[in-house]
Structure 1
Amino acid sequence: MKKNLALLFGLVLVMSLFTACSSGGGKAKTGLAVVTSTDHSSKDAGEEDGLAQADSTVAAVIVDSKGVITNVKFDVLQTKTKFNAAGELTTDAAATFDSKEMLGEAYGMRKASPIGKEWFEQADALAEYVTGKTLKEVQGIALDGGYPTASDLTSSVTMNISDMISAVEKAVNNAQDLGASADDKLGLGLVGNLHKSTKNASAEGDGAATAYNHYAAVTFNKDSKITSSIIDASQATVNFSVEGKITTDLANEVYETKLELGDRYDMKKASGIGKEWFEQSKGFSDYIAGKTVAEVTGIAVDGGYPSAADLTSSVTMSITDMQTAVERAGANAK
């Protein structure tokens, strides 16, 4: 009897140790979400140039089997396009834009912060605060006009976080089982440009300032190989007249990403392989699974388009910005 009890106790101890050792891993879901608005800072032209500004707030998450967020990253792209009172662009249409995370100290929030912290420091603090919480707990974070009020958060975060909370909510809700583990590293890469449709206003019609962003949420294992990824993109347009007046209803404009648009993006009919944008994005993510960042950036392209037969069967659209987004995600993964 004593022998049996000893064996049973030993078995329980082994199982407990196994559980403790493996609790950090296990299958997990990967999520990515974007919240875009153009009504915060956009303005008509007058004596000074007008401004078409798209603010895209992004959250990437890893969520474990119990619905607990084990990793989260935030970033924001502000795409600022200026135009004059004649409806002519004064921002170079070839301009590129760095995210707030990439700008670092150059973003310049520290001097205006009551706690003396830069944007990236506050974003990291919010990420740390959210990690270990469920979506319900994140939704319960107390805000006043978008600003946190709980003392255990306001000591490190005093900026408006309403869009960041909304992005987390969307990211958790759309998270999928794509091959990540709960203890994987998580990276978030953003690429900001102006779309080729950006143009001056004329007698033929309004001008357009179209922010064209790419986003990559990428998870990595201990060997720095990609275990999962979600690639998305968005186009946010602000129109303006030949008088330099904004004609877009900014307060009511809704911007969806290409993944959110799904079949409504309507690439399939123009695709040489009959695949929609979201299908090709998934094809690219499937292709880079198991690869390192160096292998992803080394994928052969011709004018931005993939040229390897094992990829062109599922992806024929330009992948240059997708590669760059993955590279940036790898650089900040943790």
Structure 2
Amino acid sequence: MAAFGTVFMPEMAISWFDGSSWSTPELVASDSLQLHPGAHVLHYSSTCFEGLKAFRHADGSVKIFRMDKNLDRFEQSSHLLALPPIDKNATREMIIDTVRRFAADVPEAPGSLYIRPTHIGTEAAIGKAAAPSLTSCQYILVSPVGDYFAGGVAALRVLIEDDGMRCATHMGMIKSGGNYASALLPIMKARAEVQADQILFCPNGDVQETGAANFLLIDGDEIITKALDESFLHGVTRDSVLTIARDMGMRISERDITVDELLERAAKPNCEAALSGTAAVLTPVGTFIHHGKEISIGNGGIGETTLKLRKALNDIQWGNSEDKYGWLTEV
């Protein structure tokens, strides 16, 4: 089976901003994109993107999960990167049209159609290191994907990094490629040296997020996670899980948490930890690695509450339970 996100549908929706207006969106071949070698994005990383999914339900319908929430963040990221403002309604129609075009290729659950809206600065101006691109391009790639856990859900090993940061503090809430790039080498090093699956970045002992996902600590009936600020990504899956957990009667504490408190709570037998994101939904963490020492979280395995929350979210996405939050958009 092809690796997650490496198979693409043959066409994508695309629109260009010429400095004053957006072109009429059109479907074009998705295997190429013509850019000037001096394009702003290639030199100054003026790029942001989103990740969301469309699901096939048992009745054959295809529905996109929380598209409006992703569009809000896409608009925000574009603004914070000084890219030309997107037209959310036009982008929404680009997403719907693309998914509709390939509706027959949306896999049945637990698979999905992964949707990747992207916005890049295109102005050919290598002298603009301190100025924004006045022109840009947005496009919508779609990729049919299988179950992220095709080999079964496994508890991750996570290295706690209490010195380094994932990205510049003011950039954290932007879904930009540069943020992922800055975390890549430390993650590769952690995999090679301590066989960690991910790094939990905790600058000055402040627990934030991993290289590619938000972090949740589950202590009995309480979920503890950092309160939203500009230092880390405001995850749609994170928000969805917290909403479901509140309705289940769990207590949600969005606040700062230190590494010391994290490790103290992790030693409790009923403690769990998880990473949340679009691709993996809710991934259990079984082991922390801190200053050369391995610390099991709870029983070191997959927590019951983590699986319960993941199933509740999947059931909404897959159409197995009522969408009482209005999160699904039919195409």
Mark the structure with the bigger radius of gyration: 1
Instruction: Give me the TM-score of the superposition, normalised by structure 2.
Output: 0.31
More helix by share: 1
Instruction: Give me the TM-score of the superposition, normalised by structure 1.
Output: 0.30
